[in-house]
């Protein structure tokens, strides 16, 4: 399946998608591409909000500075934090008795980032065009819940797969 179809399928049934994704051979380049794609979409999602912020503040700080800082944080520093978070997910899965490989822990987290991207894009639109308020809070809650759900389901599937492979 294509990545866009897998993203849509994740919203409908994450277990099936994770079963299919984790059945593929381990490929660090592919999962890094998932992370960078998800973070790239997150960066794009921030642009309407940054534009609104620059306009409402009278151009101080300028939009270019806001965009440059967000680009640096999203595409340079955030991947490092997600690798750390994947390590914590791996450790957490081990503590709960689910022997997940390091690659699987990274794969499910990075896929969760990419699969939650549609909700993150919606969050960016609401933040940019409507601004703070109940609508933004609801969309932020949906995006956060989707990401966490996808991540935890992925860890459970990866742990179950590792348990059956070890048997």
**How confident is the model over 99-155, as pLDDT tens digits?**
899 999 999 999 999 999 999 999 999 999 999 999 999 999 999 999 999 999 999
CA nearest neighbour of 147 among 42, 5, 47? 42
Largest pairwise CA distance in the chain: 63
Q: Report pLDDT for 43.
A: 97
Burial class (CB in 10 A: 0-12, 13-18, 19+), 116: buried
Number of domains forming the structure of the chain: 1
Domain extent, residue 18, equals 3-166
Q: Report pLDDT for 59.
A: 78
Cβ within 8 Å of residue 114, ≥6 positions away: 3, 7, 34, 35, 37, 38, 41
**Exposure of 142 in the CB half-sphere (CA atoms within 13 A):** 16
What is the C-alpha to C-alpha distance for residues 50 and 9, in angstroms, rounded to an integer?
A: 31
Which tens digits make up the pLDDT trace of 55-105?
Answer: 998 878 899 999 999 999 999 999 999 999 999 999 998 888 888 999 999
For 118, the 3-state DSSP assignment is helix
What is the C-alpha to C-alpha distance for residues 59 and 101, in angstroms, rounded to an integer?
A: 48
Residue 41 scores a pLDDT above 50: yes
DSSP assigned state of 76:
I
For 131, the 3-state DSSP assignment is coil
Query: pTM for the complete prediction?
Result: 0.90
CA nearest neighbour of 39 among 127, 105, 109, 88? 109
Residue 164 scores a pLDDT above 50: no
Q: Categorize the per-residue pLDDT at 46 as very low, low, confident or very high, splitting at 50, 70 and 90.
A: very high
């Amino acid at each position: 399946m294509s990545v866009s179809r897998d993203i849509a399928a994740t919203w409908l049934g994450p277990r099936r998608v994770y079963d299919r994704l984790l059945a593929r051979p381990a490929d660090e380049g592919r999962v890094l591409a998932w992370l960078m794609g998800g973070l790239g979409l997150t960066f794009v999602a921030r642009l309407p909000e940054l534009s609104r912020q620059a306009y409402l503040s009278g151009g101080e700080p300028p939009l270019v500075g806001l965009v440059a800082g967000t680009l640096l944080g999203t595409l340079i520093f955030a991947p490092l934090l997600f690798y750390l978070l994947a390590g914590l997910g791996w450790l957490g899965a081990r503590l709960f008795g689910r022997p997940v490989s390091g690659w699987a822990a990274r794969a499910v987290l990075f896929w969760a980032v990419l699969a939650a991207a549609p909700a993150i894009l919606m969050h960016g639109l609401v933040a940019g065009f409507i601004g703070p308020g109940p609508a933004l809070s609801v969309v932020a809650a949906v995006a956060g819940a989707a990401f966490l759900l996808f991540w935890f389901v992925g860890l459970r599937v990866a742990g179950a797969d590792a348990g059956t492979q070890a048997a």
